Amino acid sequence: MSDTESLKAALAPIAAGRATVRIEDGKASIVLDVTGLDEAARAEIEADVRRVAEGAPGVSEVRILLTSERRTRRLIAVASGKGGVGKSTIAANIAIALARRGRRVGLVDADIYGPSQTRLLAVDGIRPEARGKTLIPVQTGFGVPLLSMGGLVPEGQAIAWRGSMAGGALGQMVDADWGDAEVLILDLPPGTGDLQLTMVQKHKPAGAIIVSTPQDLALIDAARAIDLFNKVSVPIVGVIENMAGYACPHCGEISDPFGSGGAEAAANRMGLPFLGRVPLEMAIREASDAGDPPAAGNGPQAETFAALAARLDEWLVANGG
């Protein structure tokens, strides 16, 4: 048996399938795949491999390189109990802001009733291609690939698509060819009914962001959305208050036609993190309608979304990297 063969055999019981070994001129080079192991387990296996290798015949020096495959992709759902609170706007812009921080992000528009991401990201009318049964996300101009129910559900047939067909289409989008995307932002349809429950149950997001406007009614609906995620043990990343105060397009002064702070107070009451607020601004609606997402620009709105993305990023790091 060569020295390499005997070292391989010696390592088999402690690093079966994880170690690639080569010995040259007494130098053992070992590539150790530590995918799926936490830090303590990595340190332990590395120490064990080093000990065995240093004691192996024909070895005078040991070099170990740790490698790890890409983390599994994580889904972050953006949800609200009530429609029209700005879920899609926030999902799109937080995805873009997160991508600007260097995260590899994809966006899934699961809204069968009113898919809006193709308009927000200016790829209306572009149908996703497929390789066999695998969908290929549409590249947008903002560093975030997109798949939208809009491309899969025949127009005007949302009602007929309720239930299992919509579930199947969502599965196809989540399992699409996302390349090296590590985070998928999932724009859920509004509401807390069976459709949303099934989607969440089946795809088990790593976390959920709840969007609410400051009004009491919206907050009651938000609480319902929170309940839905609690029911299936999906952690809440936090609450975002949208349309909080009106920023005057002329002077920038913020007034509170609908009040503000309600979502933060509600989050505090429920013991949930509050991620931040986005003011009601004409510029946000106009840019969104024009397919020119504010998070991709350099104005104050971009900063607002960058701050929200930073909070999400912190959460991602604290919850697995």
Residues in touch with ligand ATP (CB under 6 A) = 80, 83-89, 111, 114, 116, 190, 242-243, 278, 280-281, 284-285, 288
The annotation status of 211 as a binding-site residue, yes or no, is no
Nearest approach in angstroms of CB 153 to ligand ATP is 14
- For residue 66, what is the enclosing H or E element? strand 61-67
The annotation status of 88 as a binding-site residue, yes or no, is yes
The annotation status of 204 as a binding-site residue, yes or no, is no
Per-residue tokens: 290:
């024009």
Closer by beta carbon to ligand ATP, 8 or else 311: 311
Nearest approach in angstroms of CB 285 to ligand ATP is 4
Nearest to Mg ion by Cβ — which residue?
88
- Rounded-to-10 torsion of CA 216, 217, 223, 224: 170
Instruction: Please report the beta strands in 194-302, taking only residues with DSSP state E, as ranges in sequence order.
Output: 207-212, 236-247, 254-255, 274-280
Per-residue tokens: 70:
């890409």
Number of residues near Mg ion (by CB under 5 A): 2
Question: What is the Cα–Cα distance from 276 to 238, expressed in whole angstroms?
Answer: 9
Question: What is the Cα–Cα distance from 216 to 186, expressed in whole angstroms?
Answer: 25
- The reply on whether position 93 binds Mg ion by CB under 5 A is no
The annotation status of 82 as a binding-site residue, yes or no, is yes
CA triplet 267, 271, 275: central angle to 5 degrees?
45
Sole binder of Mg ion in the list 88, 117, 212, 242 (CB under 5 A): 88
β-pair type (183-187, 105-109): parallel
Nearest approach in angstroms of CB 162 to Mg ion is 17
- The reply on whether position 140 binds Mg ion by CB under 5 A is no
Q: Which does 285 bind (CB under 5 to 8 A by kind): Mg ion, ligand ATP, none?
A: ligand ATP
Question: What is the Cα–Cα distance from 93 to 78, expressed in whole angstroms?
Answer: 12
Nearest approach in angstroms of CB 111 to ligand ATP is 5
Closer by beta carbon to Mg ion, 34 or else 76: 76
Q: Which does 19 bind (CB under 5 to 8 A by kind): Mg ion, ligand ATP, none?
A: none
Candidates 23-31, 83-91, 256-264, 268-276 — which segment interacts with Mg ion by CB under 5 A?
83-91
Q: Which does 278 bind (CB under 5 to 8 A by kind): Mg ion, ligand ATP, none?
A: ligand ATP
266 touches 239 (CB < 8 A): yes
81 touches 224 (CB < 8 A): yes
SS3 24: strand
The annotation status of 231 as a binding-site residue, yes or no, is no
The annotation status of 238 as a binding-site residue, yes or no, is no
Nearest approach in angstroms of CB 100 to ligand ATP is 19
221 closest CA partner among 109, 111, 79: 79
Closer by beta carbon to ligand ATP, 111 or else 264: 111
- For residue 146, what is the enclosing H or E element? strand 146-148
Nearest approach in angstroms of CB 278 to ligand ATP is 5
Per-residue tokens: 53:
């290798």
The annotation status of 87 as a binding-site residue, yes or no, is yes
Binding residue numbers: 81-88
Instruction: Give me the residues that bind Mg ion (CB under 5 A), please.
Output: 87-88
